[in-house]
Amino acid sequence: MPSQKIARRGLLKSSAALTTAGLLPTAAFADTTPVKIGHVDSTTGNFAVLGDSQIAGATLAVAELNKAGGILGRPVELHVEDDAGSPSTGLDKASRLLNQENVDFFTGTTSSAVSLSLSQFAASHGKLFVCTGGHVDKLTGAACNWATFRVCSTTWILTSGDSKTLVDKYGKKWYFLTTDYAFGHSEQTDYTKQVTALGGSIVGQALVPVGTADFSSYLIQVKAASPDVLCLLLAGEDQINAMKQITQFGINKSIAVGGALFELEQIAALPEEARYGIWTFEWYWNQPGVPHVADFVAAYSAANGGKYPSQRSWFGYVSVHAIALACAKAGSTDSPAVAKALEGLVLPPEVALQPGAPYFRAEDHQLMLGMFPGEVNQTGTYPNLMNIFGVVPADKIALPASQTGCTITYPS
């Protein structure tokens, strides 16, 4: 199958790079039976630019674990499959990983729609799923389950990271350009609640299909509405295309552009004139004085041809290390036991790679990670493309667990 070939080529390239970086296994394993992690993510399609980074982060974590003796003395294998951003494809690939590869755990996903589907699949088959990059609120809210944990933030945490800043700096009349699937819908709902609570109003909105190439009809409507803020709630290649066309229309000259999520991979893909706005970033590579960050950046860069890690790289890295930490705590690779060990688990500094101590909240299995609100550094050169305002702990802006709608019940 083409997707399997793509995944294997990527793994071969990663292995070669990790050999150069000195990160291939050197430890003798007490048990040579591998612990298999099935990573379902986008290596083609709209989200590939982000999925590739998550896979690279996960690959680095596997290499580090194997160099240190694996999980419970067993080697770790990462089995990657391409979901192409499609829930049905993601389920097909998850089924293949379970039935043919006999994976012990699942990680991955960039598309929130795929995340929700894989969450239910994993729970129904008794396997732990650590969601790497799907942000939709209900994954650790009303649709939560015992098997699913999430590394990236909720859309509520994302939007809370900069909603007040955008209102205070740019104005109260907002227009939404929103990707038409679970992630975008969740972001728009959250921003609407926050902006209206701040005295703002929504003067227009448009739902944009995933994979849209021409935004001109939407941008004509934006100009006619004349908002203070054009809030972009897009993802992957869609966001790159929209930013280019917003610049071509000159909309950014009279209307502020910003939103909840803009990522290093996307900023780097844009010409200088299309780089601007205030956004919420979920992790940043340049954190002077924060322990272990520089070491992680150096190792990642060495293993990935000089590329710098993004928040997506960190998501993949944490997902794998979190499983290993929980297995060690549980003394087992049994998914329910590992899930219970993950509840309340605090990431050690060498995995957290940020101020504070991110932890998995027991009540809903959400990682409580800090947010890095900031603005795009328009004249910067890669990788110095963001000016970070500071770090906001998730506990300050997250909904209380009692308000998420999550109820966790373990299989008997």
Rounded to whole angstroms, the Cα distance separating 161 from 156 reads 8
Confidence of residue 412 (pLDDT cuts 50, 70, 90): confident
- 51: nearest Cα among 73, 81, 78, 16: 81
What's the whole-number mean pLDDT along residues 192-220? 97
**Sheet order of strands, 201-208 included:** 201-208, 173-179, 229-233, 256-258, 278-281, 372-376, 386-388
Q: Is the pLDDT assigned to residue 11 strictly greater than 90? A: no
| C-alpha of 48 from chain center | 12
Residue 1 has pLDDT above 50, yes or no: no
pLDDT digits (tens, 9 = 90+) for 366-384: 999 999 999 999 999 999 9
**In the chain, where the domains are located:** 2-153+289-369, 157-286+372-397
pLDDT computed for residue 24 by the predictor: 55
Q: What is the pLDDT of residues 337-366, one digit of tens each?
A: 999 999 999 999 999 999 999 999 999 999
Question: Same fold for the domain at 2-153+289-369 and the one at 157-286+372-397?
Answer: yes
The two tokens of residue 294 are 């520089």
pLDDT in tens, 17-65: 554 444 555 568 999 999 999 999 999 999 999 999 999 999 999 999 9
In angstroms, the CA 264 to CA 381 distance is 12
Mean pLDDT of 184-196: 97
What backbone torsions phi and psi does residue 351 show, to the nearest 5 degrees?
A: -110, -40
Sequence-distant (≥ 6) Cβ neighbours of residue 293 within 8 angstroms: 285, 287, 353, 354
In angstroms, rounded to a whole number, what is the distance separating the alpha carbons of residues 273 and 259? 18
Backbone angles phi, psi at 223, to 5 degrees: -60, -40
Architecture of domain 157-286+372-397: 3-Layer(aba) Sandwich (3.40)
Task: Report percent pLDDT > 70 for the chain.
Answer: 93
CA distance 233 to 258: 9
| Interval 231-284: pLDDT, tens | 999 999 999 999 999 999 999 999 999 999 999 999 999 999 999 999 999 999
The C-alpha angle 101, 46, 125, rounded to 5 degrees, equals: 30
- CA dist 57 → 53, 317, 362 (Å): 6, 4, 25
Question: 2-153+289-369 in CATH: which number?
Answer: 3.40.50.2300
Three-class secondary structure of residue 269 per DSSP? coil
pLDDT value of position 28: 81
Mean pLDDT rounded to a whole number for the chain: 94
Specify the pairing of strand 367-368 against strand 35-41.
Answer: unpaired
pLDDT tens string 154-168: 999 999 999 999 999
pLDDT digit string, tens, across residues 283-342: 999 999 999 999 999 999 999 999 999 999 999 999 999 999 999 999 999 999 999 999
